[in-house]
Amino acid sequence: MSESENIERVNMPLIGDDAPSFTAKTTQGEINFPGDYKGKWVILFSHPADFTPVCTTEFMTFASMQDEFRELNTELIGLSIDSIYAHIAWLRTIKEKIEYKGMKDVEVNFPVIEDLTMEVAKKFGMLQPNASNTQAVRAVFIMDPQAKVRCILYYPLSNGRNMDEVKRILLAMQKSDEENIATPANWQPGEDVIIPPPGSCGTAKERVETEEEGKYCLDWFICFKKES
């Protein structure tokens, strides 16, 4: 049998799928997903291991932004394949000893899952055998209030995530849901948005010829709505 055939197949939910349900022990007590998070957006993110430098910077940054995410009706959940005792010791060290980019005395109040059995990590495809059989890669799953997977981001073990991008894509998806629009490349809150393309030639012609306040078209298939 070849080496490739020995590698365990990675299954993961796809965008638009129902997110896998789970019950887990965490630093904030037992949680049940999605039952405990009805009506909320959820960001579930994994990290390779406690007491590692990249993960420490990520957790400090996520913790410092927790109130910003809660204002967006969004809860954070962390995960690694470590024990609850390792999590607690690591988070205590972060609060008591680590200062990074002006952040200090940072307290991580969102739940961090103990996943020694790798049950949750496997459900979400966070284990990548070619990277490691014992550590979860840096995965980010964003679920909407209906517990549907809406966005998936994967990073290698060696490189930290951009938390501002996580927040930006969350804001973009929420705006798309609320206003039935799309967002262009590099969109930031407050910038112009895209009106969904027309479904027929007649509609396309009508769209280009019809004047609407705040609307402008680059061609029949690409029209924007001004945000300011």
How far is the CA of 187 from the CAs of 110, 178, 227, in angstroms?
A: 28, 16, 12
Catalytic residue among 55, 151, 201, 223: 55
How far is the CA of 6 from the CAs of 2, 3, 18, 124, in angstroms?
A: 7, 5, 29, 20
Binding site annotation covers 9?
A: no
- Known active-site residue 201: no
Annotated binding-site positions for substrate: 138
Catalytic residues: 55
Annotated binding-site positions: 138
